[in-house]
Amino acid sequence: MTDIFNANVQIYRQNQGIPLEVFGEDAKHGGTIIYCKHYNDDGTTSPEFTGFRARGTIANPQDAQVGDELLKIAAVGQSGGIPQQAGFIQFRASPGWGGGSPNDAPCEIEFAVSPDNSDVPDFAMIIRSDKTVDIEGSLRIRHNTMLWAKDSSGNPLGLMYMSPNNQTTLQLNSNELKISDAKVVTDASGKITGIRAVINDKNGTIPFNED
C-alpha cells in the first residue's frame, strides 16, 4: 500500500480514453475496491462523491442545458463472454434548469435496469424535480408496509397498510375502507373498467372513471 498525505491528486484527460481504472482480485473488506474515509468533529461533512458537468472546456466552462446528463453510475457485468450493461442510476438536468439564475438547478434521477434477454437498460423509475415519481411497470408493496398520503402542505390524507395476510386497509380522514382480494376487471376488448374486491367484508366493484 502506498500512502499519499497532504496532497491533492488531479487527473486530466484531453483526448479519448479512461483516465483512471482501478482493478482488484480477491479484494479484502468484503470485495471493496474503493474505500472513502473522512474524519471530522463537527458532524456536518461526510465522505462525498461528486460529479460535475458543464459544457464548453475546462478553460471556458459553459452552463449545462436541459436534458444534459450530470452524473451516471453504471453497473456492468460479464455475461456471454463480454461485458454487458445491467443498469444505471443517472442524474439529469430537468426542465427549468438555468435560465440565467445561479440558484436554479432542478434535477431528476433516473433508475434503469436491463430486462431478461437484453443488455439495454430500460427506465424503471424517475424521480422528478417536483418530487413526483414515475414508475414503469408494477410497484409491489410487501406486507407489513405502511404508506402515508399527504397533501402539498404535508397534512396526512390517508393511510394504507398491508398486513401479513395481504389485507389492505385504506383510511381516509375519519372514514375507513377495507379492501382485500382485489382483482382487475376488464371489458371484452381487454380495457380495464374497474377493480373487483372484498370491500368492508362485502363483495363489490370499484369502477374506473374515464375522466
For 61-76, letters b (16+ CB in 10 Å) and e give eeebeeeeebeeeeee
What backbone phi and psi angles, to 5 degrees, belong to 106?
Answer: -65, 145
Copy the grid coordinates of residue 110. Answer: 433516473
Domain residue ranges in the chain: 142-211
pLDDT, residue 39, reads 84
The amino acid present at 9, given as its one-letter code, is V
Q: Could you count the other beta carbons within 10 Å of the beta carbon of residue 89?
A: 14
Q: Do residues 48 and 73 touch, judged by C-beta distance below 8 A? A: no
The amino acid present at 163, given as its one-letter code, is S
Reading the chain (211 residues) residue by residue, the pLDDT tens digits are: 677 766 677 777 777 777 777 777 765 556 677 778 888 887 777 888 888 999 998 889 999 999 999 999 999 999 999 999 999 999 999 998 887 667 789 999 999 999 998 889 999 999 999 888 888 877 766 655 666 666 667 666 665 555 555 555 555 554 555 666 667 778 887 777 777 766 666 666 666 655 4
Distances (CA, A) of 118 to 72, 176, 183: 20, 45, 31
pLDDT, residue 144, reads 58
Distances (CA, A) of 106 to 110, 121, 130: 14, 24, 9
